[in-house]
Structure 1
Amino acid sequence: MRERIAFLAALAVAALVSALLFAPRLRRPPEPASGASARSPAASVAPPEPAPPPPALVAPPRPPLPEYVRVNPASATACRAGMVLVDGIYCPYVGHHCAAYIDEEKDICARFEPEVLCEGRLQRRRYCIDVFEYPNIEGVVPVVMVSWLEAKRACEVEGKRLCTVEEWEFACEGPQMWPYPYGTARDPDACNIDRKISMPALETFSDPWKISAEVERLDRRVASGEMQRCVSPFGVRDMTGNVDEWVHNELGNLDEKPFRSTLKGGYWGPIRSRCRPITSTHNRWFRFYQVGFRCCSDTLDGSKAVTPAERTARIPRRSPMADPGGRQGP
């Protein structure tokens, strides 16, 4: 909690300093000219009527959510504030086939075939996830330069935990099992992806006098929620692009590859930026200019986060993917 309070206090101090810097300065009234006779109260000019107060600032209305988004109405009672409920049937192994590559070597796909493959024993998943990347505040850029251990601790301070790989994937792809949180075709205008990047000067990251300026030079983050169409079927924002997100890989190792400390989602650069790919090559102390996280938690009603799916639950091994427009496939 102290870390959270310190972070919010820093924001408050910054806002106060800005207000003091930009507030109009008070001026002393002008001195009367020498030799000028003082006017009697009766001859004084009446002060002008005060100007009417400016109209209250009203935030512009938020655009409606895309039609494919279904925020679970139980989120308000099942989850803490700022989180949404993810509840549904999760497929452990999902396969997509790229129909048109942007860069096949880097596995960057413009459009996927309309069929999705599902393998493995189905699971019922029910848990809560932060709507935004940490600190989970709309309009604030997500934190970066945080290690897996620091991210894990920050979530625990709030009574939450790092998302598992599977929790993160399901919250991103939705029951549709989309490759992207918004559908089957890559859209650089939906999420903060495919931006021009600068090559980092790696030697500066070990120099405390230079690292801040280097991170600022490389930074292409946007504020959480700024990309209005970057929202998953469950109503989770910015899951692909903006910053890489630490997750807990239960199949990973603590001290050797593949690591338990795993990254999901990609950042603002031209990389895969999809729901299923993972990067498990960084240890738990790794920090970098584009690495952040978000938190998950069990529900407040105490239900289990993962259970075997009901016997009646069915996902065909091969099934068509409906895109956001309601059509089958791209």
Structure 2
Amino acid sequence: MSQLRRIFQRSGFIGQGNPAITNHPLTPEQCRARIPDGTNGYNNARNERVCGDRYMAPLYDPRTQQPRDATACIDQFEFPNIPCTYPVVWTKAAEAAEICAAVGKRLCDAHEWEGACAGALEPPDYRFDLAAGVSAGTAVRRMQAAHNARYAPSKSWSYGPEYERGTCAAASQKSATCGGGGFRSCGSNTYPTGSFPNCRSALGIYDLNGNAAEHMNLPLSPGQMASRGSTTLGVTEMKGSWFIFDRYRAHPDWCRWRAPFWHGSRVMSSGSHANYHLGFRCCKTID
């Protein structure tokens, strides 16, 4: 807890949005009323045995594996990974990595988030050969194009093969004063995590589509993979749609889609990006 306090206090912005302007469309009490068994109904005893933590789900491929075969787990909800709480936003990628480490976890690699969303963890496919000898921006563009071309024919969302309005936390709206991304002009306006029980992947992870976008690690070389124990991480990848997609589809958001190098930086850069709708969730390597 002392580590977390230091990270939050150092930032001055990390939290659940600027309370002076944020207008959440649903309260935690209303969220809990939507869940038949209460928030404890989201916890899975089998997953807890595999992951060693509440509200985590094993990452594996159901076509060839069982949950016990998983070597990594992912938070079921956006941080703080407690159902029916507002996600933490205004977090830089470097701060997200530090927060995950402080709670005994780590930032997810891009392929882990994608597998959590698509319902099957597949082997890493980062095409490091396309990243050799070029700038980070060029590397991401090349890797993105190859990756998206491979997976576009089988695109899916966490809940199924077609985009659905109303299924996830995507019916909020931007503050009227939000022309850019300023703390004083843009309310976070997010939903409590888990407010939409059907916004769930086949592996049991919620809000991968909708609500806050999420930081993760995009490695540009094998030595930058968090899933292989590296703390020398790659560049930022922002995954998942956010809270206005039912009103305005700003960009693609299918599970294995990789974004352009938006606000790109090294994950551990002190200048990595933060804004009103950008949060994160953590992963954990297990034996």
Q: Provide TM-score, normalisation by structure 2.
A: 0.61
Of 248, 254, 257, the residue aligned with 1:274 is 254
The residue aligned with 1:214 is: 185
Tell me, yes or no, if structure 1 residue 82 matches structure 2 residue 55.
Answer: yes
Please give the secondary structure, in 2, of the residue aligned with 1:247.
strand
Residue aligning to 2:214: 245
Q: Residue 203 of structure 2 aligns with which residue?
A: 234
Q: What CA RMSD, in Å, does the superposition of the two structures yield over aligned residues?
A: 3.4
How far 1:241 moved relative to its partner? 1.3
C-alpha displacement of 1:87: 1.9
1:262 to partner: Cα distance? 0.7
Alpha-carbon contact 2:58-2:70 (below 8 Å) kept: no
Equivalent residue, structure 2, for 1:159: 104
User: Relative contact order (alpha carbons < 8 A, sep ≥ 6): 1 or 2 greater?
Assistant: 2
Q: For residue 131 of structure 1, what is the amino acid of its counterpart?
A: Q
Structure 1 residue 246: Cα displacement: 0.5
1:133 aligns with 2:71: no
* Runs of 4 or more consecutive aligned structure 1 residues displaced over 6 Å after TM superposition: 5-8
Matches of residues 142-221 of structure 1 in structure 2 within 5 Å? Answer: 142-175=87-120, 179-193=156-170, 195-197=172-174, 200-202=178-180, 205=182, 211=183, 213-216=184-187, 219-221=188-190
Amino acid at match of 2:242: Y
In the other structure, the counterpart of 2:237 is: 262
Q: Deviations over 1:143-198 (max 9, x none)?
A: 11110000000000011001111110011111397610010111121112265445
Please identify, of 75-84 and 146-155, the stretch whose mean Cα deviation from structure 2 is larger. 75-84
Match of 1:215, SS state, is coil
Measured after TM superposition, the shift of residue 268 of structure 1 is 1.4
Letter in 2 for 1:201: G
CA contact (8 A) 1:193 1:273 kept: no
Larger CA Rg, structure 1 vs 2: 1
TM-score w.r.t. length of structure 1: 0.53
Q: Which residue of 1 aligns with 2:146?
A: none
SS in 2 for 1:150: helix
Deviations 1:80-102 (A, max 9, x none): 122111222699xxxxxxxxxxx
Higher helix fraction (1 or 2) = 2
One-letter amino acid of the counterpart of residue 48, structure 2 = A
Contact 1:63 1:228 in 2 (8 A): no
Query: Which residues of structure 1 form unaligned runs of 5+?
Result: 9-58, 65-70, 92-123, 206-210, 303-330
Q: CA deviation at 1:220?
A: 2.8
Q: Give the structure with the larger strand fraction.
A: 1
d(CA) in 1 for partners of 2:74, 2:82: 13
Q: Deviations over 1:116-150 (max 9, x none)?
A: xxxxxxxx863111110001111111011110000
Deviations 1:279-326 (A, max 9, x none): 333224111111100000012xx1xxxxxxxxxxxxxxxxxxxxxxxx
One-letter amino acid matched to 2:35:
R
1:106-121 matches, cutoff 5 A:
none
Q: 1:61 to 1:268 in 2, by over 3 A?
A: closer
Length, aligned pairs only: 201
Consecutive unaligned residues of structure 2, counting only runs of 5 or more, are 9-31, 38-42, 122-153, 225-233
SS for the counterpart of 1:154 is helix
Give the distance between the partners of 1:291 and 1:147, measured in 2 at CA.
Answer: 9
In 2: Cα distance, 1:158 partner to 1:246 partner: 17
| Contact 2:172–2:190 under 8 Å retained in 1 | no
Q: Which amino acid aligns with 2:168?
A: C
